[in-house]
Amino acid sequence: MPAEPSNDGGMIPGADWSMGINSPTSVSQAKLLAHLGGMLRDIYSDLVEEEAPEHLTQIVNRLGARQIDRN
């Protein structure tokens, strides 16, 4: 009976890590991620284009002033 694969070196037993970044699996995953990214950009494009609420703008400005004072 073969020994169980170990998790030495941080590899996940049974995972297909041996094919590298140019494998068909990696390419299909990259295409899927690109597609999902495009869908998310479409969904959130209106939200990203909106101005930030005034109270958040004030907080960011105060934090920016602190950062400048530290330098």
The one-digit pLDDT tens for each residue of the chain (71 residues) are 455 555 455 555 555 555 555 566 677 888 899 999 999 999 999 988 999 899 999 999 999 998 888 87
CA distance 62 to 39: 34
CB 24 within 8 A of CB 17: no
Q: Which of 25, 29, 6 is nearest to 17 (CA)?
A: 25
Amino acid, res. 38: G
| pLDDT value at residue 17 | 53
Specify the pTM. 0.41
